[in-house]
A = this chain, B = another copy of it.
Amino acid sequence: MAVYTDVTDEALFAFLTEYDLGAVLSFKGIAEGVENSNFLLHCEVGFFILTLYEKRVNPADLPFFIGLMEHLAAKKLSCPLPVKRRDGLSLGTLAGRPAAIVTFLDGVSTRKPDARQCGETGRALAQMHLAGHDFGLARPNGLSIEHWPDLFAASRGRADEVSPGLAREIAAELDFLQRRWPRDLPEGVIHADLFPDNVFFIGEKLSGLIDFYFACNDSLAYDLAICLNAWCFEPDGAYNATKGRALLQGYQSLRPLDGRERRALPVLARGAALRFLLTRLYDWLNVPPGALVRPKNPLEYLGKLRFHQTIDHAGEYGLPE
């Protein structure tokens, strides 16, 4: 949510000589995206977003992310389309960072999604899952259940500073999930971070998805479980079954869940809650000096986790029989 790297006009103009975008009319840093520096770029041919990939993005992953946006856009999913340079590449170097230009996607993200917006999001997630099935590249999920023990170990000693008993509670949940995690679900390319700030709407209509920089291969229903956590709880922590039903129905209108996925949903939702609890806990305890981003409260996800622990079957989320 910040601009981490300063780009001079001289460096920008040199970078743009590789593109056919005409003269630069405007260039402004924007507060969008979690890990990278983003700029609004207005050129004679239109508006674009210029992204500088900062150090938390592994350059080796960039062909996957860029290729995925190209693949999804070609399949008519509304998402930013990387702009090719004259040499055919979609990636260059600017201010010492890998950098890409993507098309500007209109739309406004919502802070308080309503049920209709949850439904549109579920549908778009299913559209992405279907569109991604024949994408040629793969990227393992760097924040999958295999990585949670290490992530937990990095915060365990100080977890109780955030909430007394938290370390013990996470340890028990991790133990449960490791025993019960479903291993035989349909897999594919998932967004893995489809929070409301990554979904744009114009009026009531969903206009596109952004920020594919956590995308990876994992079980498709786990992606839906992430959305249940991100979209269907109220600010006071209560689960909103109307929104849950809308999300799940929207998803199933394009890609119905199979029996294993339906049965697995409560465990997947617990796992998704734990994954965000763990990363937020780590970020909360490790704010770098001079940080421009304030960490999110991990306890929001502890509350969600405890809710999912009370769920026995997916019908309780609002999933139609």
Chain B residues with Cβ below 8 Å from A202 are: 23-25
Q: Are A111 and B9 in contact (CB under 8 A)?
A: yes
Q: Are B110 and A9 in contact (CB under 8 A)?
A: yes
Interface: A163 (CB within 8 A): no
Interface: A141 (CB within 8 A): no
Q: Are A30 and B26 in contact (CB under 8 A)?
A: no
Q: Are B203 and A23 in contact (CB under 8 A)?
A: yes
The interface-forming segment of A59-67, A101-109, A225-233, A306-314 is A101-109
CB within 8 A of A29: which of B8, B12, B30, B42?
A: B30
A31-B31, A292-B292 are known contacts. Are A26 and B106 too (CB-CB below 8 A)? yes
Q: Are B40 and A28 in contact (CB under 8 A)?
A: yes
Number of copies: 2
Interface residues of A, count at CB 8 A: 33
Closest to A25 in B: B106
A3-B31, A29-B32, A31-B30 are known contacts. Are A24 and B108 too (CB-CB below 8 A)? yes
CB within 8 A of A108: which of B3, B9, B112?
A: B9
Q: Which of A26-49 contact B (CB under 8 A)?
A: 26-32, 40, 42
Q: Residues of A with Cβ closer than 8 Å to B?
A: 1-3, 8-10, 12, 23-32, 40, 42, 104, 106-112, 200, 202-203, 290, 292, 294
Q: With contacts A9-B108, A9-B109 known, what are 16 further pairs, Cβ within 8 A?
A: A2-B31, A8-B111, A10-B111, A12-B108, A24-B108, A25-B108, A25-B202, A26-B104, A26-B106, A26-B200, A28-B31, A28-B32, A29-B30, A30-B30, A31-B31, A42-B106
12 chain-A/chain-B pairs, Cβ below 8 angstroms: A9-B108, A9-B109, A9-B110, A9-B112, A25-B108, A25-B202, A26-B104, A26-B108, A28-B30, A30-B30, A30-B40, A40-B40
